[in-house]
Amino acid sequence: MTAARRAVVITGAGGALGGAISRRLASEPATDLVLSDVSEASLDATLAGLPDFDGAVETVLADVSDLEQVEAVVTRAVENFGRLDVLISNAGVLSANGRIHNLATEEWERAFRVNVLGAVNGIRAAVGVMRPERSGSIVLTASVSGLTAWSHAAPYCATKAAVIQLARVAAVEYARDGIRVNCVCPGTFRSAIHEGLPDEALDAIAARHPLGLGSADDLVGAYSYLAGDASRWTTGSALVVDGGYSAP
């Protein structure tokens, strides 16, 4: 008997983590991918870096803060693959460096629109397709910054804490529909998100990770687990993968 195929949507697929998740899931059997990002150039780079695999891949440019655009990404999966089994809602932005009273309203709004509303839009679009099938796995990218306090990064910490709670509430709301919702809380790994951060700041962050700074490839096993059947009794969890950052 041929194994059932699965269709996976990944947002922020052009970034370091999104690219690594795309490569990992492409290497797993019977998987078709819809890769989405707001940046065409980075999406093209991820596409070019995919291994040869037995599935099909579609790319869609979309801003996760816009529900209609996220729905169009999910629609692409349904039109091309007839289904949506997994949503990896991974797009996110780091907020500007500054104390709470110094950060402009626009900066707070940007972080909430991309990090929180982006995840909300992903869930809304995905459950519309998954509920009738009574099956699906949704994985949100949160951060250890949603569990610990980072000075000068309040919008980032607050939005990632919101993502963790969103995963928990969604897990409870959609369990009866056969949909699991979890999130991954990465520690710091190198990516474009840190562009502009002074080297000393990154060194200081690295020093607080007992296993040192990670790479995006250190995280993909967590996404593979939460996306797949091995995690069939796991929902509402915040899986910490942080090189020991939050252990002390």
Where does this chain bind ligand NAD (CB under 6 A)? 11-12, 14-18, 37-39, 42, 63-65, 90-93, 114, 118, 141, 143, 186, 188-189, 191-193
Cα separation, 212 vs 222, whole angstroms? 18
Cα separation, 52 vs 68, whole angstroms? 32
Shortest distance (Å) from residue 27 CB to ligand NAD: 19
CB atoms near residue 107 (< 10 Å) = 15
Cβ 46 vs Cβ 13: under 8 Å: yes
**Catalytic residue positions, numbered:** 156
Shortest distance (Å) from residue 237 CB to ligand NAD: 16
In Å, what is the CA distance from 130 to each residue of 7, 63, 121, 223?
Answer: 11, 21, 14, 19
136 versus 214: smaller Cβ distance to ligand NAD: 214
Shortest distance (Å) from residue 54 CB to ligand NAD: 26
Helices (H) and strands (E) counted in the chain, each on its own, are 8, 7
101 versus 208: smaller Cβ distance to ligand NAD: 208
78 versus 93: smaller Cβ distance to ligand NAD: 93
Please state the φ and ψ torsions of residue 179, each to the nearest 5 degrees: -110, 130
188 versus 235: smaller Cβ distance to ligand NAD: 188
Shortest distance (Å) from residue 90 CB to ligand NAD: 5
